[in-house]
Structure formats: C-alpha cells, structure tokens
Structure 1
Amino acid sequence: MIINLRVDHKVANIETIETTAKDLEIIFNKIKKDLDIKEYVEINTCNRVEYYINTDIVSYENDCFRTENENIIIHYDDMAIIHLFRMTSGLESMIIGEDQILGQIKSAKKRSIDENHCGKILNTLFTKAIHVGQVVRQKTYINRGSVSIGSAAVDLAEENIGDLKGKHVLVIGAGKMGKLVAKALAEKDLKAIFVANRTYYRAVRLADELNGKAILLDELSQCLPTADVIISATGAPHTILNKEKIEDFIDSKKASSIIMIDIANPRDIDEDVLDLGVKLFNIDDLRGIADENKKLRENEAKEAERIIESEFNLLKNSFKLMEVEDLLADIRLSMENIRTKEALKATSKLSNVEGSAKIIDNMSKSIVNKIFHDMSLNIKKVAEEEDHDVIKTLESIFK
C-alpha cells in the first residue's frame, strides 16, 4: 500500500501549513514507529509538506491515520500516485507549470536513497513520477514562459511599488529560491542589489551574477536603510527579520515605502514589522498571480492530464508484475536446482562418452528455459488480471 500524507497551499495558508506541518510530523513518526515503516520519502517545499510511505501491513482503518486536523490530507494507492504525477508535472504547484518542483522531488528521492529509506516500490514510483514530469514538459507548453515563485514575488513587488528601475533591492537567501528571485531581478534596471546569506561564498556567487554586492546575514544593517524592496527566501527554521532588528536602521518615513516579501517556509519575517509601517507580503499574497497563470495554461493542463493517465496505467501494470517477480525468481531457482542435480546424475552415467557433460548441460538448460518461458508468461498474465487467489496458490506450491 502506498500512502500520501500532506498539507499544501490548496487547503491552507502559509501560517496554517507551518502549524499543521508539526501535527503531520507527529502522525508520521507514530506511523513509522508503530508500523515499523522502512520505506518513505519526505517532500518539503515553500508551500507543502508531504510524506510518501510504502507498507504492506496496514489497512485504511488503522488508528494511526486518525487525526482531528482537517488540513491534513491522506490519500492511498491510486490517488496518492496520481497526486505525485500531477505534482512532478507542475499541476499541483501554486504557479502552474513551474519547474522547481521537479528538482525538489528529485532531491527528496535522492535524500531518501542516501538515508536508506527508498526501497524498490518507492524507487520505482518516484523514478516514474520524475519521468512523467519530464515528458509533460517535453510534450506540452505547460512551462513555456512559466513564472516561478521567485519571479511572481518580483511581479508582486512591482504591483505595489511600481517599476523597479533605479530601486535598491535586498535578497535574503542564496539557495534555490533566492536564485529564482535573482533570475527575475536580472531583467530589471536596478540601482543596487544586495544578496545576504549565512554562507558568504554562496552570496558572492549569486551577487556576481547580478553585478551586486554580497553580505553576511549579520551585516544586514549595511543595506536596510536604503532598501526599497526586501525579498527573503532562506531555509532558516526561525525568523531573520523582526521589528526589533530593523527599527534602529529604518525611520518611520522610510518604512512606509518599503516592500517586504517573504517567500520562505517557515517564514523569515515576523509580522510585527507591520507596526513600523512596512508593507509585508508572503506566499499567500501570490495567489492572484497564480490564478492568472492558471487560466493561461488550461489547455496545456488538459494535455498533461492525458499524459499522466497513460503513464499511470503503465506504472500500475509494472506494479502488478513486480508482485510476482519474487515468485518467478523462486520458481526459476527451484527448476535450476532440479536441472543441476539431474544433469550431474546423467553425466556420471555417461562418463565414458566424450563431451557428454556439455551436451547434457546444454540440453537441460534448453528444456528449463522453454518450460519457464511459458510458465512466466502465464503467471505475468495472472498478475495483470489481478487474480490474487491463483498467485497465492502458486506461492504456496513453489515456496
């Protein structure tokens, strides 16, 4: 059974995602402990937290899955798989068709493999899901001219402050999201841009691409007084900016003209900065831009859905065949053991005949191959037809 536990932007705002993520982690840890789960993948982005689990020892009614948090979504098997395919295709993103989610899921899979939590089933599922995401982008225009969360943040800034030409911009965070922001800012005729990061060399590398200046996080006071727009996208577990940290560097007149956009999860900027007159926005405020983007891509999304359905059916068939792979391996091993023993007996009886050992070995291999070929085809057919009674009977016979 494949299980998906999640909270995302479709059912919750950024604050609710943050709080629900804690409940979700508690449920996941309980499931992992109580059901001795070994195979799982965790996905954590700016607007979703998800767990994919594979287990064969749980039913839909298991008490582990009972929760009073209405923001937690639990999907099983087909629905869980379809959701993953839609996610890698960019259909579940706030900004439809964005490419970053594909890289995030690749990273989640790799992390699970590195930590020995990604077994045969989830490895097959996630490999297929990544393939689906790539096919959708190759065969449709779902990501043509696609805006990312980063570029949407820049659009939001322009909606509220006007043209960014001649403005001072501070980007906090030089990770993947910060790079997306920088990519969008590179097209603007800025007066100055600062990139702040906890790791200095990353800030330098990104700032060089933008002809800007790199600073460390604890040096923010250098550019706060002149900043017109501040976009923050770090992976920090706590806030980077709050009222106390900036009120000594920004006077009230300047504060009322500053745009702060927080696209981190958990959030980087405390809401108490609003007391200073700052205009503060977060991921939830990007929904308007996301809705416009969705309308532009409706036809591409329909084509993506058709691709997802086709690939889903192929995966389902693969899973059916995987169910009997161990059985086929057992049958083949059993037949090979019998063949080897009988070939040795025959060879010993014909020890005086030149080349008898090779002749008998080749003949017996040929017989086994022909018998196993037909048997294998029939068993695979049974698997595809989902005749579990026959499979169980075969398992009891050959195991």
Structure 2
Amino acid sequence: MSKLAVDRLVREVQDELVTFLQSGTVAEEDVVSTLDFTDLAIDDFARLKRIHFCLSDPVVDFVEKLPARVRNIKTESQRERVHTRGEVRGSIDWNQTTKLRHTDSYGDRTVFACETPYVEYDIPENLVLKRLLWVVHRTVDRELANFDYGWRRDQWSDEQIREFQRLYSRNVHLNRIRDGADIKPTSRDLTAARTSREPLYAEVYDLYDTYQQLQSSQYEEPAVQSLLRKTLVVPERIPRLFELFCVFKLIRLFTKLYPQLSLQIIEPGAEEIARLESDTHRLEVYHDQQGNQKFHESLGDVEANTPYFRRYQDVLETHIELLGDFLNRGAGKTLYSGRPDIVVEVYEKETDTTLPRRVLLGEIKYTESEQTFARGLRELLEYTRFARVRDTYLHETPEVDVAGLLITDGIKTESVDGQIRHLTAEDLPTQKETVADLLR
C-alpha cells in the first residue's frame, strides 16, 4: 500500500487546524509548532500569524503593484498661517497682518501674516496605508529576509525583498506620511479607506482588516480561513505532517466515540492539545507531551541485583566518566527516558484520585518498513511499562487500564486482540471499535 499523498496530508491538516482554531478547542501553543513547519523555533503566535499574513498571495500581489500606484496616492491641499518678517510666503492675510502690527509688533511694517499652501499627506486613507506597509515591512525585513527556504523565495524573492525595502525607505511620497510605528488607525481612518473610490485604498482596507481579524483570532472570518489554508508550508520533514494528520484524526474519532463528551475551550498555557468533557468524565489529549505521567528511570534508583544488570550499569557509569574525560561534559544518569507521540488520559470525575481511569499511549511512524514498525512497537511497550504518576507505575495498578496504539502508514498486519493494537492512518477514521476497546 502506498503512502498517503502529501497533498492530502496538507489539505486535511489545514482544514482541521482552521476548524479547531475557529472553535478555540486546540491549544494555540501547539498550533505554533504545527504552523511552524520548517522548525523556525517561533514561540510567539502573534508573530507567526504576522508571518503567514505577509506570505499570503493578496499581500504579495499588493506589494508588487505598489511602485506604480504610490506615485498617485491621494493628498489634500492645505494652508498654514505663518508670521514672517521681511518676506511674504503665500498670500497675505491683511486683516491678521493689521492686528499683528498693532499688537505684538506695533508699528513694524515688515511683519506679515501669511497663508502658506502645502500638501497634506497625513490624511486618513494614507495613515491606514502606511500602517499596513509598516506591518509588512517590519515582517519582511526582520523575518522573511532571514528565511533561507524555497517556499519563502516562491512568495518573496531576494530581489522582491530588496525592491520593497528601497520603496519603503526611499519613496518620497511614503516618506511624507507619518512613521507607521506611530500610527494607530482610528475607526474614522478605516471608514475613509473602506469607502474610498480609489481601488488602492479599498484594497488597503481589506488587507488591514484581515490582518486585524487574524491577530484577534477571528478564525470564523472567510478571509482569515483562506489565508491560513493557503499559507501553510509543507514541512521539509514529512513525518511531522503525518504525525499531525494522525493526531487530528484521533481527536475527531474521540468526538464520535463519545458524543456525550464535548470539546472544551483550551486556555492559554494548557499543556494538552485538546480536552473533551462531560459531567462525569474528562478526556485529555496530549501531543508531544507527557501529560500527567513520567517516562523516566534514573540509574541511581535501581539496584543491580544480577550480573547482567551490574555489567550494564558499569557500562553506563563508565560512559559518563569517559564523556567527562574526552569532551569535558557530563551526562545524566538515566537508565530509561522516552515520550510517546500521543498521550490520552481518561478521568472519572466522581472518583477522588489523581490517577486516570484509562490511559492510551500512541506512537506514530511514517513508514512502510517492518524494521521501523518493530522499533515503534518496542518503544510503545516501553512506554506502557514505564509510565508512572509519581511513584505509581500505571501498568501495575489494577484500577488503571493502560493500552498502546501504534499508527503507521502503509503497513498491513494481522488483527490482534489485546491492549496493544496497530492501525494504519488510512484506516484510523473508520476503526471506532478498535479504539473504543483500548479505552474501555
């Protein structure tokens, strides 16, 4: 069986992300790493959304057309009243001049009150324009210009970036508008841009409005949904995308398995990626997190009771010593350490205990290789045996049911009953009974 097509993985992950974001039922911290497909180490969601905004086709198209359009930006003719001595600037206001000569400058016939014409660039429409360009320029200059990836160059070539930087910093018309950092468009400014007869400003309003909706997490807006779907970048490590595909499919499967449980709003700072809850039960889903468990064994906590283990312990301790001798660095005295790709914990609310009633540990392998399957199976077994809450090993606790699920792509296996199961990602959405058995 062939692997799931990458375009399908991208499309379905995009759709699920937008849906979860819209309802607020997925942790935004996890979304950061999800959208950050190229390992850019971005941990600020507002910053990440700004990057995606500037990568969108409407913004790129707008910037490409800007050099020809900015020469004809709207201005207003104004007159400034000035007092001069010995010269005339503009037209003379004789009424004010007479008053001036009889008050502050009594008898001085060289003093004039003049109305000097000037061109006003700081009109409402231009303030919105400059603020939008400031947002784009700051992001392109500080972020995109430093991204050495093909997907960035597909949207913003190096030459496009240089041309935009020159335009923003040197264009005489843009420079006459107030600095974008000091502009906070008011509702009056936005209304002026929205109702302008000039296509430039109507486009400016649409883009800036989408940016504001995105930053304020208004994911129900069609423009925001379209932007997120079209700017998600295919990761260089496809297994990461496959992993997310499986996580979202599993969450959807839980909503069908347990219709009495509803997806909850995830508050900022939550470790779980999703949580389902009813009056009696709570189901917490963790992705790349340990949940409320530990999967770690310190070497010092285990007594060497057999010759084999004493030899193994000697190897680990000698390894630590030699690392210090060779590389002048230490190493933790760890006998075992791991972390499942998925941790699902089911709690019964009426029981007064910190232990979950059921635990499902998941390992995801993007593979058609039986060797990788075997490694994933071993890792999964280790997770089920070493999982503990404080000093309580869940596998040895009768009141806690621990199960394991190995998800692969393209490996067909025999059906096996028990607390360790295997499913392919293709079959995952239809295997309600299999997953239900693991959580009973």
TM-score (norm 1): 0.23
Structure having the higher Rg: 2
Bigger relative CO (Cα 8 Å, ≥ 6 apart):
2
Which structure has the highest helix share of the two? 1
TM-score (norm 2): 0.21
